[in-house]
Amino acid sequence: MRNLVLITFDSVRADHCSFLGYRRETTPTLKFLAMNGLCFENAIVTGPGTPTSMAGVFTGSYTPI
pLDDT reported for residue 3: 87
Closest C-alpha among 8, 16, 19, 6 to residue 50: 8
- Global pTM reads 0.64
The answer on pLDDT for 63 being more than 80 is no
Asked if residue 14 lies in contact with residue 21, where contact means CB atoms within 8 angstroms, the answer is no
pLDDT for res 22: 94
CB 52 within 8 A of CB 46: yes
Whole-number Å distance between alpha carbons of 3 and 28: 22
Question: Which pLDDT does position 65 carry in this prediction?
Answer: 64
pLDDT at 32: 94
Question: In this predicted model, what pLDDT tens digit does every residue of 2-52 receive, in sequence order?
Answer: 888 888 888 888 899 998 899 999 999 999 998 998 888 887 778 788 888
